[in-house]
């Protein structure tokens, strides 16, 4: 991922230095287990642990000749360890190291993402409670529908992020799996107990069965989970973009002092963070397809997945980390205009109360089809002739024969539409 969208902690996790350190962590764990089981001398392990060093630059230099990064890594280790290096990588294949180290990287990435989700959730809750009683027109198909609570939007997002958090926890469980089972996963040169003990040391589960690699359905689950979370964030950001439209202007991104919206139009305040979140969601979703493509490999393994994973695993992790950070800032600083919401709510001259009128008429004994026809004929006059809906309803002889003026006026009350908001909040927040 480019530096522009990389936050320090997640960026450091996916650096070459950290990747090679995780490889070393796995190699050392294997050596320690072998020593415990008597396979290699304990003195050799002590020497390996004391002297093992690596240099990213040196590994990359060696790889120019070997054209194999793990061999370049072990060669560089041997340069610092000396004679005891013959016990490094004992009985292993490259994927034993790479895939087990990947489990550590992906597990740690999940922890960083979960921390970002945990920072977003209280912000969503605070804004939900802040605007619990703020009326706003609800929209379906982009058209005014019925009144709702602005706070319900944030409650909805809070509930969705809770589900996303559970998804990340499941993904963390899925990827935190190691394998130390050799070239085709059959433990030809290793005791299965080595795998169990190494994974226990590293805080991983051993794969019940593997080939030369950890099966890539777990990586696909990780990438798909990140794509779902990114899609949630895009959903939130897309709504902010709608609110910030000039014709709507119910809420907008915080516009800081000195910020510029356009190189040509000084008046512009554009929803740039929301648009950035939407754009980056496309990248994370696209990367999830790569994860799915990597599930099917030839026989016990091929290497077609490897090059793609070097891109999509860090890029998706880094991108979503950034998106979560920006979404938290976006929602926290969102500027809200309740007065404008009321203006928009009233913009259709009472049409949004047509559903309540229909219901009240049916309660008075009018057939639903007939009540619908009476309400709609007046509603169409509001659309076409820009008249006031309540005035037309009061003047309609069929409707006024069943409803008094006071009953009609009660139809046009917001209280009916917001009366159960508290019950919904109790469901969400407990």
Could you tell me if 343 and 25 are in contact, meaning their C-beta atoms sit under 8 angstroms apart?
no
Q: Which of 233, 240, 230, 234 is nearest to 150 (CA)?
A: 240
d(CA 22, CA 203): 13
Q: Which of 327, 138, 352, 140 is nearest to 250 (CA)?
A: 138
d(CA 53, CA 49): 9
Residue 95 token pair: 């994927």
- The residues, ordered by sequence, that sit 6+ positions from 88 with a Cβ below 8 Å of its Cβ are 27, 31, 48, 52, 74, 77, 78, 81
Give the distance from CA 189 to its chain's centroid: 41
d(CA 315, CA 68): 22
Q: Which of 195, 204, 212 is nearest to 33 (CA)?
A: 195
Residues marked as catalytic: 141, 262
- The residues, ordered by sequence, that sit 6+ positions from 426 with a Cβ below 8 Å of its Cβ are none
- What is the DSSP code string of 124-141? HHHHHHHTTT-EEEEEET
What's 353's DSSP letter?
Answer: G
Could you tell me if 345 and 137 are in contact, meaning their C-beta atoms sit under 8 angstroms apart?
yes
d(CA 156, CA 140): 16
Could you tell me if 378 and 392 are in contact, meaning their C-beta atoms sit under 8 angstroms apart?
yes
d(CA 117, CA 236): 14
> Residue 295 belongs to what H/E stretch?
none
Cα separations in angstroms, 387 against 135, 143, 381, 395: 23, 18, 7, 12
Quote the Cα angle for 422-425-428, to 5°. Answer: 155
């Amino acid at each position: 991922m480019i530096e522009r969208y990389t936050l320090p902690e997640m960026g450091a996790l996916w650096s070459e230095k950290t990747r090679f350190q995780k490889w070393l962590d796995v190699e050392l764990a294997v050596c320690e287990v072998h020593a415990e089981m008597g396979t290699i001398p304990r003195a050799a392990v002590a020497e390996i642990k004391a002297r093992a060093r690596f240099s990213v630059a040196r590994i990359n230099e060696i790889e120019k000749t070997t054209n194999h990064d793990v061999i370049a890594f072990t060669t560089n280790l041997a340069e610092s360890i000396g004679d005891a290096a013959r016990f490094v990588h004992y009985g292993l294949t490259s994927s034993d190291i790479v895939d087990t180290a990947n489990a550590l990287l992906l597990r740690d990435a999940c922890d960083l993402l979960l921390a970002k989700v945990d920072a977003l959730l209280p912000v969503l809750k605070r804004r939900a409670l802040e605007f619990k009683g703020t009326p706003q027109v609800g929209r379906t198909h982009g058209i005014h529908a019925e009144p709702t609570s602005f706070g319900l939007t944030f409650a909805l997002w809070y509930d969705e992020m809770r589900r996303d958090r559970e998804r990340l926890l499941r993904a963390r469980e899925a990827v935190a799996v190691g394998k130390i089972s050799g070239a085709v996963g059959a433990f030809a040169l290793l005791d299965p107990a080595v795998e169990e003990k190494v994974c226990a040391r590293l805080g991983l589960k051993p794969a019940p069965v593997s080939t030369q690699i950890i099966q890539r359905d777990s990586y696909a689950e990780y990438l798909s989970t990140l794509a779902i979370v990114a899609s949630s964030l895009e959903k939130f950001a897309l709504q902010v973009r709608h609110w910030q439209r000039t014709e709507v202007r119910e809420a907008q991104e915080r516009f800081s002092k000195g910020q510029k919206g356009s190189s040509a139009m000084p008046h512009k305040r554009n929803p740039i963070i929301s648009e950035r979140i939407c754009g980056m969601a496309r990248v994370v979703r696209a990367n999830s397809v790569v994860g799915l493509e990597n599930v099917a490999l030839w026989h016990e393994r091929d290497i077609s997945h490897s090059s793609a994973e070097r891109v999509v695993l860090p890029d998706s992790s880094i991108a979503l980390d950034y998106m979560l950070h920006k979404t938290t800032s976006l929602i926290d600083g969102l500027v809200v205009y309740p007065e404008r919401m009321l203006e928009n709510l009233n913009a259709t001259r009472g049409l949004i109360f047509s559903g309540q009128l229909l219901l009240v008429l049916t309660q008075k004994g009018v057939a639903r089809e007939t009540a619908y026809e009476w309400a709609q004929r007046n509603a169409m006059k509001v659309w076409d002739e820009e008249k006031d809906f309540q005035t037309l309803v009061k003047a309609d002889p069929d409707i006024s024969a069943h409803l008094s003026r006071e009953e009609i006026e009660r139809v046009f009350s917001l209280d009916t539409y917001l009366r159960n908001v508290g019950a919904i909040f109790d469901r969400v927040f407990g």
